[in-house]
Structures are given as structure tokens and as C-alpha cells.
Amino acid sequence: METPAEIRQRWCYLRDLLIEQLARFESGALQMHTADVNVSANAIKKLKRNILDFDELIARSDARNR
């Protein structure tokens, strides 16, 4: 079983990768063509908001465990 520190480290790595990909979508450097997935500006904003919400959840968990 992973420790909270290991989970946090994995989340940070995945979070950074996701944010980098989202920035590439926003800039137009990365494009996706699909009929099934919404890659609109609103979908990207929602995903970014969800990332921040998860960051806050981790921070609250860290604060409780100190």
C-alpha cells in the first residue's frame, strides 16, 4: 500500500502532465478530432476546475493528518 506522501507525489506528477496537455489544447499545439469526446474550451475549463478541487481535497487531508 502506498503512503500518503507517495500518493501525493504520483498525483503531482499526473497533475502536471494533465495541465501541460490542457495548455497545449488551449494554444492549438495539440488537437483532437473525435465525435465522442467534448474537447471544447468549456470542457477544458471544467477539467482545470476539477484539478484545483482535487488539489484542495488533498491539502485538507494533509492538514488533518498533521
| Structural domains in the chain (count) | 1
The closest of 58, 49, 55 to 22, measured between CA atoms, is 49
Mean pLDDT of 14-36: 85
Show the domain range for 55: 4-64
Q: What pLDDT does 65 receive? A: 74
pLDDT score, position 16? 92
**What is the per-residue pLDDT for 41?**
78
Task: Assess contact for 18 and 49: CB atoms under 8 A.
Answer: no
pLDDT at residue number 7: 83
Burial class of 8 by CB neighbour count within 10 A (0 to 12, 13 to 18, 19+): middle
* The pLDDT of residue 36 is above 80: no
